Amino acid sequence: MFPIIPANSVAAEITLNDNGIFGYGIAAGVVSMTNLVSNAGVVATDVTGVGTARYAPAACEYGGDKGIFGYGSGPVSVTNLVSNAGVVATDTVGVGTARLGLGTCEYGGDKGIFGFGHDGSIYVSITNLVSNAGVVASDQAATTGTARQDLTGCEYGGDKGIFIFGQVYGYGNITNLVSNTGVVASDISGIGTVRGYLGACGYGEDKGISGYGYLDGNPGTNVSNKVSNTGVVASDTAGVGTSRHGVTACEYGQDKGIFGFGYTGSNVSITNLVSNTGTVATDQAAITGTARRSGGACSFN
């Protein structure tokens, strides 16, 4: 793996991960199974679940080569660490407000942040930072962003992140940038199709992409929106692949990405690869993983 050291930065060395992992979600019921993604974008067969079965968790990288799944339906505040070999650990007792439908992203090169969600009663704008050792911090309440759920997030610019879209009494397309110290900025007026239940991942070493999702009155779309290395969200790119919502996405092969799974009226196990230039490929159907929706995904190794 080759480190990226941003210009004029004192952040930790940033490494690019070879592999990915999809986990948790809704199949015939709520599950905790996972599926590893190779450095060629091949999704492996189901790995028996570890930890609390749940849907609508979030997941991100930390420590340069490891990952973490956190929160989810219940709602709960448990987390599960992912080793640099893709092994998921048992539950860690939760820190912070239990919630589901939150977003997450990496920041600072080796840390992560969980943000927003629904606590079972109301939308929240709470965030929780993840250290480079995978320790989740207590709530940072009342961020400047609009409280919402069913959003997504990804890294950009080598050491920063972005929360993308989501639902707040209807779907929206606002975004919130995350600095390389984990500070969440105020809302940026939306660009792109208003939606929630979408996925996002990094690509090309310093850019990101969000795609798919649910629109009011429409169960799914296949448009995507690129995120530049300065955090600017582009207008819609015409859709590729099966329209659906409840997808998840992660990086693989150091500079590529993959969207996986989702719901079209029934659960599907479709994946769509993202090249290192941000081009989304047509469906790779009938992968070996159990069809499901509303899980989480992150990269590792």
Domain ranges of the chain: 19-300
Q: How many residues does the chain have?
A: 301
Mean pLDDT of the chain: 93
pLDDT band at 14 (very low <50, low <70, confident <90, very high): low
Higher pLDDT, 143 or 182: 182
Higher pLDDT, 2 or 208: 208
Which residues, in sequence order, are bridge partners of residue 267? 263
CATH number of 19-300: 2.120.10.80
- Between CA 24 and CA 68 the distance in angstroms is 12
pLDDT band at 270 (very low <50, low <70, confident <90, very high): very high
pLDDT above 50 for 8: no
CB neighbour list of residue 31: distance below 8 Å, 6 or more residues apart: 24, 25, 49, 53, 290, 292
Assign 262 to helix, strand or coil.
strand
Retrieve residue 76's tokens. 């709960």
Average pLDDT of the residues in 110-117 = 97
pTM (two decimals): 0.94
